[in-house]
Chain A
Amino acid sequence: MRSWFKKLGGNRLGFGSLLKVSMVSLAAALALFIGYQPASGQGPSVKAPVNTYKAPRTKDGKPNLNGIWQAMNTANWDLEAHAAGQSMDPKDGAMFAIPPGLSVVVGGSIPYLPAALEKKKQNFANRLKLDPENKCYMGGIPRAHYMGHPFQIIQGGKDMMFVYQYAGAVRTINMGKPIEAPADSWMGQSNGHWEGETLVIDVTSQVEDSWFDRAGDFHSDKLHVVERYTPRSADTLWYEARIEDPKTFSQPWTIRMPLYRHVEENAQILEFKCVEFAEELLYGHLRKPAGAPSVPAQTKGGPGAAKGKGK
């Protein structure tokens, strides 16, 4: 009967070996936590909050961040200060014109390395085609928080779950022993801990393909983000993300913005599965030309039937 208890697969690497590796690099990550001092009062934009607010507690005594939150700014158009602008296609009129906004970057501007600044400019020029948001790709961190959609924090006694309306993105905040991700992902690996009133999340292992905004602001595979969520009133949080990427920026920089609670009755995250809205952009050029005969489906019972389950 022993066979009942064995995975039939057998012969597999255990998670134990993975954990040993991760502990080493975790020491480095923790050192960063300790050495990290929040930037304060640098430059004209987004003054550092003097925060004396003490948030209501969860039943287990932590600041209670549960809720549906959303940024109220134009950071997704451009993290840096920007005047109003023409819509990307002038035929779209005023409805899709770019709203003006102040910089959310502490100190005002992003400290690009020269070559990276050139790439940012190229990104901007080709943003309709290149911006991952336009392709319905998950936003990544920090962008997922200011894309014009709400997100919900589910905070129980253990790990937390952040659920984003845009593209149905989600991430789990590991509140236990920090974990090193085995591979990169769009929402990265999040390891969190509390520092007094503040939830601090260390985010690593994000793919290099996400952007920070529609202005082409980008990063490399060396991105390391440290987020800080600090309650500032019953219905607002300070959100701060320190961005470090030596391949792209000459020094770490920080964005800071308030997040607002959805207080309306029955507020909820709805579905925004945007793939279908991006298909024309991504595949329109691969459609069958008008008048050409259709080729038959390749496999019987395959995923051809649009209304069936395409497995």
Chain B
Amino acid sequence: MRTKFALIIAAVGLAASAIPAVAHHAFAAEFDASRPLKLTGTVTKWELVNPHSWIHLDVKNADGSVTAWMIEGGSPNSLLRLGFTKNSLPEGSQITVDGYQAKDGANRAVGKALTFTKDGKSLFMGGSAPGADGGGQEK
């Protein structure tokens, strides 16, 4: 029981001004607000790297060709601590990404919302934690 007691949450100073810095860089420098996009495709690789994780995604185009996309996400360390592993998002998973494309027009995007295509559920359960910061602000 001891460890359960060791750490207890102190919700001090949760005013708006205290929203922590939770991103490594300014998103707007990397991605283009005028290029919102929605992609549905097949996961080919999940790079659990820092400072940001990246999901590699094969997206089928109307003409049958396939475009490889890279989707930026958050630091994976918290996910690992929450019990996720490199096998939690297997190759072949069908996912839908709501996000913004890179400014230089490359096939990279920031994934604002990541859901499983079949049921619309969030890829990661971090978001379902009650009391989780929902603001999603980088500053």
Chain A residues close to B by CB (< 8 Å): 4-15, 17-18, 21, 182-184, 207, 297-299, 301-304, 310-311
Q: Do most interface residues of chain A lie in helix, strand or loop, or is the interface mixed? A: loop
Query: Quick check: B86 and A9 within 8 Å, CB to CB?
Result: no
* Docked complex Cα distance between A17 and B23 (Å): 29
Interface residues as binary, B11-23 with A (CB distance below 8 Å gives 1, 0 otherwise): 1000000000101
* Docked complex Cα distance between A106 and B130 (Å): 56
Of A14, A207, A299, most buried by chain B (CB within 10 Å of CB) is: A299
Given contacts A15-B83, A182-B80, A303-B25, whether A10 and B129 have CB atoms under 8 Å apart is yes
Query: Quick check: B129 and A182 within 8 Å, CB to CB?
Result: no
Question: Which of B21, B76, B132 meets A9, CB within 8 Å?
Answer: B132
Give, as a whole number of angstroms, the nearest-CB distance from A160 to chain B: 22
Given contacts A302-B29, A310-B25, whether A13 and B76 have CB atoms under 8 Å apart is no
Query: Quick check: B83 and A183 within 8 Å, CB to CB?
Result: no
* Docked complex Cα distance between A18 and B80 (Å): 10
Of A5, A183, A302, most buried by chain B (CB within 10 Å of CB) is: A183
* Docked complex Cα distance between A111 and B23 (Å): 44
Given contacts A5-B8, A9-B129, whether A183 and B86 have CB atoms under 8 Å apart is yes
Instruction: Collect the chain B residues with CB atoms within 8 Å of residue A182's CB.
Output: 80, 83-86
Within 8 A of A (CB), among B35-87: 48-49, 76, 80, 82-86
Instruction: Collect the chain A residues with CB atoms within 8 Å of residue B80's CB.
Output: 182-183
Within 8 A of A (CB), among B92-138: 125, 128-132
Chain B residues close to A by CB (< 8 Å): 4-5, 7-9, 11, 21, 23, 25-26, 28-29, 48-49, 76, 80, 82-86, 125, 128-132, 139
**Whose C-beta in chain B lies nearest to the C-beta of A22?**
B85
* Docked complex Cα distance between A10 and B29 (Å): 34
* Docked complex Cα distance between A12 and B28 (Å): 31
* Docked complex Cα distance between A139 and B4 (Å): 37
Given contacts A9-B129, A10-B131, A12-B129, whether A299 and B86 have CB atoms under 8 Å apart is no
Instruction: Collect the chain B residues with CB atoms within 8 Å of residue A18's CB.
Output: 83, 85
Question: Which of A14, A184, A298, A310 meets B86, CB within 8 Å?
Answer: A184
Query: Quick check: B28 and A7 within 8 Å, CB to CB?
Result: no
Query: Quick check: B128 and A11 within 8 Å, CB to CB?
Result: yes
The total of Cβ contacts below 8 Å across the A-B interface reads: 70
Of B21, B85, B128, B130, most buried by chain A (CB within 10 Å of CB) is: B85
Instruction: Collect the chain B residues with CB atoms within 8 Å of residue A310's CB.
Output: 25
* Docked complex Cα distance between A17 and B131 (Å): 24
Query: Quick check: B48 and A183 within 8 Å, CB to CB?
Result: yes
Given contacts A182-B80, A182-B84, A183-B85, whether A11 and B29 have CB atoms under 8 Å apart is no
Query: Quick check: B129 and A298 within 8 Å, CB to CB?
Result: no
Query: Quick check: A5 and B82 within 8 Å, CB to CB?
Result: no
Instruction: Collect the chain A residues with CB atoms within 8 Å of residue B139's CB.
Output: 301-302, 311
* Docked complex Cα distance between A298 and B83 (Å): 36
Instruction: Collect the chain A residues with CB atoms within 8 Å of residue B4's CB.
Output: 5
Query: Quick check: B83 and A14 within 8 Å, CB to CB?
Result: yes
Instruction: Collect the chain A residues with CB atoms within 8 Å of residue B84's CB.
Output: 13, 182
Given contacts A8-B9, A14-B83, A184-B48, whether A299 and B28 have CB atoms under 8 Å apart is yes
Question: Which of A12, A183, A299 meets B29, CB within 8 Å?
Answer: A299
* Docked complex Cα distance between A301 and B28 (Å): 12
Give, as a whole number of angstroms, the nearest-CB distance from B37 to chain A: 19
Query: Quick check: B28 and A13 within 8 Å, CB to CB?
Result: no
Query: Quick check: A311 and B21 within 8 Å, CB to CB?
Result: yes
Query: Quick check: A298 and B29 within 8 Å, CB to CB?
Result: yes
User: Can you list 7 A-B pairs with a CB-CB distance of less than 8 A?
Assistant: A8-B9, A9-B132, A11-B130, A12-B82, A183-B76, A297-B29, A304-B26
Question: Which of B9, B48, B83, B125 meets A7, CB within 8 Å?
Answer: B9
* Docked complex Cα distance between A4 and B12 (Å): 12
Given contacts A5-B4, A5-B8, A311-B21, whether A12 and B83 have CB atoms under 8 Å apart is yes
Instruction: Collect the chain A residues with CB atoms within 8 Å of residue B29's CB.
Output: 297-299, 302-303
For the complex with contacts A311-B21, A311-B23, 10 further pairs of A-B residues with Cβ separation under 8 Å are A4-B8, A8-B131, A9-B131, A11-B129, A12-B125, A12-B129, A18-B85, A183-B80, A303-B25, A303-B29
